[in-house]
């Protein structure tokens, strides 16, 4: 049993030589897989950074393979979304020059730069076309399900304070990473296409949804579960075109299936050890705490006119005398204003607005290709999911997958738009040629022969 996590990791790394989408999958599951490996290897338990370095090397190998295979790493990559995302992270690091926070927490934030480079800079190079989203969904569901099952049957993962985790030295592994993987699997399983594919794919999607939901519920990550359900509810009507009778029926059926799946999950994974985590009082308390954090952060920023433009600085919230005694506000939108100022808020707004426009254009232009459209909606759903998560957890730079998915969404949208406009231009040209022959005088046409 202890060898299975290592074997799975080696298989995933080896698969990157076959398809680069597996390297992107390795990045998405990196932190939960790291926690799993630490329970089976004493070396990785004490030096977890080795696995992260290995993941980075795998991504570099995948990028080299794409380049050798004739794929451009940079084509359609540079968009307004990318420039705003990279600018936001650059401004965040620059703001350490005036932040009032000092010590270990700030050092941990700054020292995370290699992770952000891997996720925000390198990972978007692994996905360049809409058609590559399909293999990503398949590999993510396969690997995610395998990681989830190995975690659920691993005795090293226990529930403490109503949250699933594992002991890692003096600390416990981050349950939010487990919940995020589970919620990601829920979204992908619900959005990825199943029509016209083998029955085993439908079984895979259903199994991945239940496994992911179970992991998210056991992790005690309430936001991950609730936001996954919210994203599915918001995107299903777009996915199946609720305006039509068939679409309405499919949305209704999907809602019933999701509800039944969640009922099954809660009945199996909620008991006396974690039931308090899921009651109404607990849910409302978590939300009210974040409201207090936002009020105190923005209040401090508003009372300091000299910091309106540049912000209070990265991780400035940790230095405030706050009510909840936490190190960050847990709300990205508040951090973008309070810690990064009007500059950071503008950069984040540009990224979100351009990302939304890219999603809308991509979904519209893939209208004639059902599978491409479903892939586009899946990627948009993942970006939306991580946007919601970024506003309930983590510090200002602590949600890099939101930025990565936004950059990928803008890139594949631009690539498809180029193909779409070329196709439309050729179609218009062909129509004009046909029209010229139809309008021509038959005698003149005959005279040219």
Q: How far, in Å, are 184, 239, 413, 423 from residue 366 at the CA level?
A: 23, 12, 10, 12
Can you tell me the distance from the alpha carbon of 56 to that of 139, in angstroms, rounded to the nearest whole number?
Answer: 18
pTM of the model: 0.91
Can you tell me the distance from the alpha carbon of 362 to that of 340, in angstroms, rounded to the nearest whole number?
Answer: 31
3-state class of 243 per DSSP?
coil
Q: Domain coordinates of the chain in residue numbers?
A: 4-429
Give the 3-state DSSP-derived string for 79-91, with helices as H, strands as E and coil as C. CHHHHHHHHHHHH
Residue 100, pLDDT score: 94
Can you tell me the distance from the alpha carbon of 158 to that of 164, in angstroms, rounded to the nearest whole number?
Answer: 6
Say which residue the tokens 């009372």 belong to. 303
Contact 136, 127 (CB under 8 A): yes
Residue 72, pLDDT score: 86
Model pLDDT for residues 24-58, shown as the tens digit of each residue:
999 999 999 999 998 877 777 767 778 889 999 99
Residue 54, pLDDT score: 92
Give how far the C-alpha of residue 432 lies from the chain's centroid of Cα atoms, to the nearest Å: 44
> Per the structure block, which two tokens stand in for 101?
């926070």
**160 phi, psi to nearest 5 deg:** -135, 130
Model pLDDT for residues 382-402, shown as the tens digit of each residue:
999 999 999 999 899 999 999
Concatenated DSSP letters of 360-390? HHHHHHTTT-HHHHHHHHHHHHHHHHHHHHH
Residue 169, pLDDT score: 57
Residue 448, pLDDT score: 41
Can you tell me the distance from the alpha carbon of 401 to that of 116, in angstroms, rounded to the nearest whole number?
Answer: 9
> Per the structure block, which two tokens stand in for 13?
């790394």
By CB atoms closer than 10 A (0-12, 13-18, 19+), residue 416 is buried
3-state class of 156 per DSSP?
coil
Residue 282, pLDDT score: 73
Q: Per-residue pLDDT for the chain (449 aa), expressed as one digit of tens each?
A: 568 888 999 999 999 888 888 999 999 999 999 999 988 777 777 677 788 899 999 999 999 999 988 888 999 999 999 999 999 999 999 999 999 998 888 888 888 999 999 999 999 999 999 999 999 999 999 999 999 999 999 988 989 888 898 876 556 778 999 999 999 999 999 998 765 556 677 888 899 999 999 999 999 999 999 999 999 999 999 988 887 888 889 899 889 989 999 999 999 999 888 888 888 777 677 678 889 999 999 999 999 999 999 999 999 999 998 888 888 899 999 999 999 999 999 999 999 999 999 999 999 999 989 889 999 999 999 999 999 999 999 899 999 999 999 999 999 999 999 988 876 665 555 555 655 545 555 544 444 43
User: 394's torsion region: left (phi>0), alpha (psi -120 to 50) or beta?
Assistant: left
**172 phi, psi to nearest 5 deg:** -105, 150
Contact 241, 229 (CB under 8 A): no
Residue 256, pLDDT score: 92
C-beta atoms surrounding 253 within 10 Å: 12
Contact 2, 113 (CB under 8 A): no
Q: How far, in Å, are 44, 300, 309, 380 from residue 106 at the CA level?
A: 25, 19, 21, 32
């Amino acid at each position: 049993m202890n060898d299975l996590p290592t074997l799975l990791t080696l298989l995933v790394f080896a698969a990157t030589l076959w398809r680069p989408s597996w390297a992107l999958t390795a990045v998405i599951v990196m932190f939960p897989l790291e926690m799993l490996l630490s329970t089976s290897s004493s070396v990785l338990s004490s030096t977890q950074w080795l696995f992260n370095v290995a993941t980075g090397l795998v991504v570099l190998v995948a990028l080299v393979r794409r380049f050798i295979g004739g794929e451009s790493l940079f084509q359609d990559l540079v968009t307004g979304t990318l420039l705003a995302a990279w600018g936001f992270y650059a401004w965040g690091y620059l703001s350490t020059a005036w932040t009032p926070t000092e010590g270990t927490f700030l050092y941990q934030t700054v020292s995370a730069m290699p992770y952000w480079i891997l996720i925000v800079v390198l990972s978007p190079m692994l996905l360049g076309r809409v058609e590559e989203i399909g293999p990503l969904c398949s590999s993510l569901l396969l690997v995610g399900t395998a990681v989830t099952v190995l975690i659920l049957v691993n005795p090293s993962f226990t529930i403490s304070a109503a949250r699933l985790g594992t002991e890692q030295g003096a600390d416990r592994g981050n349950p939010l990473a487990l919940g995020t993987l589970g919620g990601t699997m829920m979204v992908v399983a619900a959005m990825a296409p199943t029509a016209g594919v083998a029955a085993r794919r439908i079984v895979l999607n259903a199994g991945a949804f239940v496994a992911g939901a179970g992991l998210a519920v056991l992790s005690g990550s309430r936001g991950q579960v609730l936001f996954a359900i919210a994203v599915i509810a918001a995107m299903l009507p777009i996915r199946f075109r609720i305006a039509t009778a068939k679409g309405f029926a499919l949305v209704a059926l999907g809602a019933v299936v999701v509800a039944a799946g969640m009922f099954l999950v809660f009945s199996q994974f909620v008991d006396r050890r974690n039931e308090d985590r899921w009651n109404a009082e607990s849910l409302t308390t978590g939300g009210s705490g974040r409201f207090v954090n936002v009020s105190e952060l923005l209040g401090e920023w508003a009372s300091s006119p000299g910091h309106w433009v540049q912000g209070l600085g990265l991780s400035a919230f940790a230095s405030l005398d706050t009510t909840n005694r936490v190190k960050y506000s847990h709300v990205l939108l508040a951090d973008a204003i309070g810690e990064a100022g009007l500059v950071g808020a503008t950069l984040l707004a540009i990224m979100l607005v351009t990302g939304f426009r890219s999603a809308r254009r991509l979904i519209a232009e893939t209208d004639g290709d059902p599978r491409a459209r479903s892939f586009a909606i899946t990627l948009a759903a993942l970006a939306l999911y991580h946007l919601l998560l970024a506003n309930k957890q983590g510090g200002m730079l602590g949600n890099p997958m939101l930025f990565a998915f936004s950059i990928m969404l803008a890139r594949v949208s631009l690539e498809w738009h180029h193909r779409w406009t070329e196709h439309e231009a050729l179609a218009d040209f062909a129509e004009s040629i046909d029209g010229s022959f139809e309008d021509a005088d038959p005698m003149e046409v005959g005279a040219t022969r």
